[in-house]
Amino acid sequence: MAALATLDGVMAPWARRAEARPALELADSCLRGVGQVVFMNNPVTGLLILAGLTLASVWLGVATAIGVVAATLAARVLAFDRTAIRGGLYGFNGALVGAGLATFLVPAFDVESIVAVVVVAAFSTVVTATLSRLLVPTLGVPGLTLPFNLATLAFLAAAAGGEGFAPVVEPALPAAGEGVDGALRSQEDGGAAAAVPALANALLRGVGQVFLADSAVAGLLVLAGMAVCSRIAAGFALVGSLVGLLVAVALGGDGFAAYHGLWGYNSVLCAVAIGGVFFVLDRRSAVLAVLCAAAGAVLFAAVGTFLSPVGLPGFTLAFCLATLAFLLIKDAGPGVQAVSLAEITTPERHRRVRHVPGVAPGRDALGVER
Amino acid sequence: MAALATLDGVMAPWARRAEARPALELADSCLRGVGQVVFMNNPVTGLLILAGLTLASVWLGVATAIGVVAATLAARVLAFDRTAIRGGLYGFNGALVGAGLATFLVPAFDVESIVAVVVVAAFSTVVTATLSRLLVPTLGVPGLTLPFNLATLAFLAAAAGGEGFAPVVEPALPAAGEGVDGALRSQEDGGAAAAVPALANALLRGVGQVFLADSAVAGLLVLAGMAVCSRIAAGFALVGSLVGLLVAVALGGDGFAAYHGLWGYNSVLCAVAIGGVFFVLDRRSAVLAVLCAAAGAVLFAAVGTFLSPVGLPGFTLAFCLATLAFLLIKDAGPGVQAVSLAEITTPERHRRVRHVPGVAPGRDALGVER
Amino acid sequence: MAALATLDGVMAPWARRAEARPALELADSCLRGVGQVVFMNNPVTGLLILAGLTLASVWLGVATAIGVVAATLAARVLAFDRTAIRGGLYGFNGALVGAGLATFLVPAFDVESIVAVVVVAAFSTVVTATLSRLLVPTLGVPGLTLPFNLATLAFLAAAAGGEGFAPVVEPALPAAGEGVDGALRSQEDGGAAAAVPALANALLRGVGQVFLADSAVAGLLVLAGMAVCSRIAAGFALVGSLVGLLVAVALGGDGFAAYHGLWGYNSVLCAVAIGGVFFVLDRRSAVLAVLCAAAGAVLFAAVGTFLSPVGLPGFTLAFCLATLAFLLIKDAGPGVQAVSLAEITTPERHRRVRHVPGVAPGRDALGVER
């Protein structure tokens, strides 16, 4: 019980201990980077996620690890803000670059592919710095996963015309398919009992697809990793995945894509971001989280339509667009309490601090309460 | 005569009387919302426009009405600025959402289509708030009809891939066609006399197409409605439609599209916006209005080319781009007098107030002079 | 030797003499406008470049001249900042409009094409003013060649659907082709000796393609013109062209396109901009210049992929995107010294001034040292 409590939240005491050894500090920063993809500043979250990805595909797990290390080291070489590096904020875009290129570059474990992951992940660190400078002072919003999206899409679009990489720019997913209802019901031959597994599968794959892992087991490990750091976040991840599925049903989206979690992953990120991370969780922000998740799913389909002529994947652009739009109304809505970017820790901690008005929290290098 | 004077301008005394009854206040706000599509804060304008749309197509009129009500109610639920709601500023994007989806979703009067209008129109209200927060404090420019464009295009793009709505994403207009000269002259078999009706038809349809009404009668009623509130605005609407037609001739655009007003509607909005609404009308702003209308027509064709691979319509994106560009030079041009966003009423009133330097106008909730 | 020294830098004494005669002043402003495409505020640079373009194609040279005159005169009519006009800052986008339309509008020396060059070049001046107002006060970055790109792409996209201009919107370059290595080696039948000419050809064409001149001689004259004003800039132009070629090899890009300098021209502009113009040249900014040139080449290919469905050329959008991104990190990197926009002269002069800390340079109308 005491051991579990040690893992909760951002694990600040462990962070300080890890800093005694350079290699351990780097590993800690990188694992937090993997966790920060889902806004979790926690190395155990990152470890469980990497385990899930590796179970889904060894190359996916390895490429994600290479990406996060390359991006984090690039931030160190460029002497960017140490607190941000330690909290994984320069690593998560690199982790996604690794996952994204692992999915769209063939063959696996190719030297050229590995070089591409390293270069594009390191470049995502530069884009992260640029976007922060562009967005934070003017609008008070973060760049989210835009650096990953911009860097990876630019690379894939550039490589698409060449002979050096030959990315799979037509997403490997079949375009044909039946409606959502049909596909989810296709396992139901034996009766209604099978609908529950099919639904569970779609929901969990939606969480796994945040890391481009088309696997319910990976989704389960991502959820478990998130729960170590924040139960609220894990809960909203599931809520988001469900909202994405419902939007797919409403729009009559492709059932095959829905079953494989593609309608869900943007909504997962939207729901977690709005439902406790950037806004203090209360009834109003919970409603906004659901609305943002719905907007994320609609934009997923819209981005797909706009990118279809060039055959590139939409990655998490829909999440970025929907969440930035919802974050920008933070000064408008009476009662929605925005968490200042420098004070973000976990949804649970945001609720505790904000419910004792007048007490400003102390912060250390990892933004954790003292 | 006195009765006509009562209808002129923003009709502030009537607005106050309408507020005695909640239903009447809502109707007044919504009709002003319809009028605000062409920058007219006047319920009679809105009424005449709705009549014109209904004459062109009952479904078009009804969907526009549903859209403006949904958007206005959403702004009330979200407790947005009451003055802006009363002046129709949260309604006009919703009205266009209704008109846009009525045109691109089939079949008419379908329950699903109605639900789509309500949801997308309400969402346009959120986008309106977001864009205002983004553009007004930083650049001092309004979001114009961008919320309509973004929300409707996102929805249509998302629905295009699914089976739930099956929008007509290939615009219903024939791509083939002869040059502008030929099409306008095609009714001329009997001689030059027929050229005038053909031109009048194209000009009026250009005004009607602001509301996606491909009808000269609708265009006439839109013009009449505008004239109730502002003769200057109605005049510039015609000027804009003419400029759009001339650009179509210059670029050798499709004559069929030109006859049906498609080259005109963006230019109509550009000319009205610059020629008296956002700038005080004088010789210089009149020239800018014509140039902006020309830019709007060029951008109409350019947007069409860029959207052609996905088959989506360009709606009023060209108007937004051209007008925002011209508004941004407001601090540059010596002699152009920009009207501050909070003080916008009618082109006539702007001229009267600005020509008595040193006298700051009093303003009430509808921004009307006291 | 003294004569050569007179031509060096921004030629301020000559500028003052030229102002004695209106026609000479206009010619001086326009020639500086041609030079400013490659950041050189020097009329002799402009003269040599125009000579090079005319050697490559008379129509290219004439259209470029028409464009720069139209844009410069438009800025005068609109009473824009005289210092900026004199330094060619309102002319360079117009020069590129001329070069761009000369390449993509057929036939040459057509009256309609000339009218198009005049109108679009004049319009680029308005866009230049708008973008400056948008970017300089908020982000402290210039609009670069964005006005050229936006105005020309909008016009070509609008004209693409019509019958009035019929631009060659499918770039005239063959899509098929062998890898870079193969194409560069194709002249090598006689042995390795021929590889050097092929490489030199590709490098020089990369410089020429900045002005859409597919000619090694034109590239040589552009380089010579740059060297008159700044040897550093000329050197980095070659470095950029080489980096673009290397990226083409790395991505396995089309060898035909690489031989004709298409992978190089964006990188040429990136390298010159970062390597001495906007940042004071030192070891760190030299590294950034190479990285920015590489990013420019990757984005060249990426922009090409995104524009391929509509068949429009990417012009120098890749240069704009890459360079703006690198300029935005100017406050982040310790040790990189950004030159304030109002103080830009030549890379050589920036180094001299900055190496005497505490001495603020005096400036006259052309930004030259006194």
End-to-end CA distance of chain C: 21
Residue contact B253–C79, C-beta within 8 A: no
Residue contact B301–C162, C-beta within 8 A: yes
Beta bridge partners of B179: B254
Percent over 90 (pLDDT), chain A: 68
Query: Residue A271 region, left (φ>0) first, then alpha (ψ -120 to 50), else beta?
Result: alpha
**Containing H/E element for C125?**
helix C111-139
Evaluate whether B173 touches B262 at the Cβ level (below 8 Å): yes
Residue contact B165–A253, C-beta within 8 A: no
Nearest CA-CA distance, residue B231 and chain A, Å: 36
What is the tens place of the pLDDT at every residue in C251-272? 988 888 999 999 999 999 999 9
Per-position b or e across B11-25, b if 16+ CB within 10 A of its CB: bbebbeebeeeeeeb
Evaluate whether C166 touches B361 at the Cβ level (below 8 Å): no
Of the partner residues A252, A306, A328, the one whose CB lies closest to the CB of residue B157: A306
- Angstrom distance (rounded) from CA A341 to CA A277: 10
Most C-contacting residue of A101, A111, A130 (CB-CB within 10 A), to test interface = A130
Nearest CA-CA distance, residue A150 and chain C, Å: 11
Task: Identify the CA nearest to A346 among candidates A83, A6, A11.
Answer: A11
C182 CB neighbours in chain A (<8 A) are none
Position A168 scores a pLDDT of 56
What is the tens place of the pLDDT at every residue in B38-59? 999 999 999 999 999 999 999 9
What does the CA dihedral B121, B122, B124, B125 come to, rounded to 10 degrees?
A: 130
Quick one: closest CA in B to C115, which residue? B250
As given in the structure block, the two tokens for residue C269 are 């502009």
More confident position, A267 or A180: A267
Beta-strand ranges (E) seen in chain C are none
Evaluate whether C278 touches C338 at the Cβ level (below 8 Å): yes
Of the partner residues B157, B166, B309, the one whose CB lies closest to the CB of residue A301: B157
What ranges do the domains of chain B cover? 2-160, 180-354
Residue C355, φ and ψ in degrees, nearest 5:
-85, 0
Task: Identify the CA nearest to C321 among candidates A236, A134, A16, B152.
Answer: A134
Least confident of A116-120, B162-166, B243-247: B162-166
State yes or no: cis peptide before B107, omega within 30 of 0. Answer: yes
Least confident of A202-206, A325-329, A341-345, B70-74: A325-329
- B21 Cβ contact list (under 8 Å, min separation 6): none
Position C96 scores a pLDDT of 98
Residue C254, φ and ψ in degrees, nearest 5:
-65, 125
User: What's the mean pLDDT in A1-17?
Assistant: 81
User: What's the mean pLDDT in B334-353?
Assistant: 89
Position A86 scores a pLDDT of 97
8-state DSSP, B342:
G
Provide the 3-class DSSP secondary structure of residue C200. helix
Task: Identify the CA nearest to B289 among candidates B271, B263, B264.
Answer: B271
Of the partner residues A251, A299, A303, the one whose CB lies closest to the CB of residue B159: A251
Position B333 scores a pLDDT of 57
8-state DSSP, B140:
-
B80 CB neighbours in chain A (<8 A) are 332
User: What's the mean pLDDT in A186-190?
Assistant: 44
Number of H helices, E strands in chain B: 18, 0
User: For chain B, which residues lie within 8 Å of any Cβ of chain A, measuring from their own Cβ?
Assistant: 78-80, 123, 126-127, 129-130, 133-134, 138, 153-155, 157-166, 309-310, 312
Residue A279, φ and ψ in degrees, nearest 5:
-120, 145
Q: Check: pTM over 0.90? Answer yes or no.
A: no
Least confident of A102-106, B44-48, B295-299: A102-106
- Angstrom distance (rounded) from CA C269 to CA B68: 49
Of the partner residues B79, B161, B163, the one whose CB lies closest to the CB of residue A301: B161
Q: Specify the amino acid at residue B79.
A: A
- Angstrom distance (rounded) from CA A182 to CA A177: 9
Nearest CA-CA distance, residue A189 and chain B, Å: 24
Residue contact A159–C299, C-beta within 8 A: no
A140 CB neighbours in chain B (<8 A) are none
pLDDT surpassing 60 at residue B199? yes
Task: Identify the CA nearest to C222 among candidates C278, C274, C268.
Answer: C268
Residue contact C331–A133, C-beta within 8 A: yes
As given in the structure block, the two tokens for residue A234 are 């894990």
What is the tens place of the pLDDT at every residue in A28-83? 999 999 999 999 999 999 999 999 999 999 999 999 999 999 999 999 998 889 99
Which chains touch B (3+ CB pairs under 8 A)? A, C
Question: If one looks up domain B180-354 in CATH, what number appears?
Answer: 1.10.3430.10
Mean pLDDT score across all residues of chain A: 87
Position C330 scores a pLDDT of 72
- Angstrom distance (rounded) from CA C226 to CA C232: 9
Residue contact B126–A298, C-beta within 8 A: no
Position A50 scores a pLDDT of 98
8-state DSSP, A80:
-
- A316 Cβ contact list (under 8 Å, min separation 6): A96, A144, A145, A148, A149, A210, A265, A266, A269
Sign of CA dihedral A350, A354, A356, A362: positive
pLDDT in tens, chain C (370 residues): 456 677 888 899 999 999 999 999 999 999 999 999 999 999 999 999 999 999 999 999 999 999 999 999 999 998 889 999 999 999 999 999 999 999 999 888 989 999 999 999 999 998 999 899 889 988 889 999 999 999 999 999 999 876 666 665 543 333 334 455 555 544 444 444 557 888 999 999 999 999 999 999 999 999 999 999 999 999 999 999 999 999 999 998 888 899 999 999 999 999 999 999 999 999 989 999 999 999 999 999 999 999 988 889 999 999 999 999 999 877 665 568 899 999 999 999 999 986 544 334 433 334 334 3
pLDDT band, residue B280 (cuts 50/70/90): very high
User: What's the mean pLDDT in B83-111?
Assistant: 94
What is the tens place of the pLDDT at every residue in A309-349? 888 999 999 999 999 999 987 766 556 889 999 999 999 99
Domains C2-160 and C180-354 share a fold: yes
Number of H helices, E strands in chain A: 18, 0
Position B255 scores a pLDDT of 86
Evaluate whether C278 touches C327 at the Cβ level (below 8 Å): yes
Q: At what angle do helices C43-56 and C58-77 cross, to 10 degrees?
A: 140
What is the tens place of the pLDDT at every residue in B306-319? 998 888 999 999 99
Of the partner residues C254, C298, C300, the one whose CB lies closest to the CB of residue A155: C298
What is the tens place of the pLDDT at every residue in A210-235? 999 999 999 999 999 999 999 999 99
Which chains touch A (3+ CB pairs under 8 A)? B, C
Question: If one looks up domain C2-160 in CATH, what number appears?
Answer: 1.10.3430.10
Q: Specify the amino acid at residue C157.
A: A
Position B194 scores a pLDDT of 58
Beta bridge partners of B338: B279
A79 CB neighbours in chain C (<8 A) are 334
More confident position, A21 or C336: A21
- Angstrom distance (rounded) from CA B220 to CA B226: 10
Quick one: closest CA in C to B138, which residue? C138
Position C278 scores a pLDDT of 96
Quick one: closest CA in C to B298, which residue? C158
Residue contact B305–C160, C-beta within 8 A: yes
Task: Identify the CA nearest to C225 among candidates C91, C36, C28.
Answer: C36
B157 CB neighbours in chain A (<8 A) are 301-303, 305-306
Residue contact C301–A164, C-beta within 8 A: no
Task: Identify the CA nearest to B67 among candidates B82, B52, B46.
Answer: B46
Percent over 70 (pLDDT), chain B: 84
Position B5 scores a pLDDT of 72
**Containing H/E element for C53?**
helix C43-56
8-state DSSP, A368:
-
Nearest CA-CA distance, residue A329 and chain C, Å: 21
Position B164 scores a pLDDT of 66
State yes or no: cis peptide before C107, omega within 30 of 0. Answer: yes
pLDDT band, residue B62 (cuts 50/70/90): very high
pLDDT surpassing 60 at residue B366? no
- Angstrom distance (rounded) from CA C236 to CA C242: 10
Residue contact A161–C301, C-beta within 8 A: yes
C153 CB neighbours in chain B (<8 A) are 302
Of the partner residues C80, C158, C309, the one whose CB lies closest to the CB of residue B298: C158
Of the partner residues C78, C157, C164, the one whose CB lies closest to the CB of residue B305: C157
Nearest CA-CA distance, residue A197 and chain C, Å: 40
Most B-contacting residue of A251, A324, A331 (CB-CB within 10 A), to test interface = A251
Provide the 3-class DSSP secondary structure of residue A151. helix
- Helix ranges (DSSP H) in A165-308: 180-185, 195-208, 216-229, 231-250, 255-259, 265-272, 283-307
For residue A25, how far is the Cα from the chain centroid? Answer: 22
- In a 13 Å sphere around the CA of C319, the CA atoms on its Cβ side amount to 32
Most A-contacting residue of B113, B126, B150 (CB-CB within 10 A), to test interface = B126
pLDDT surpassing 60 at residue B334? no
Position A174 scores a pLDDT of 33
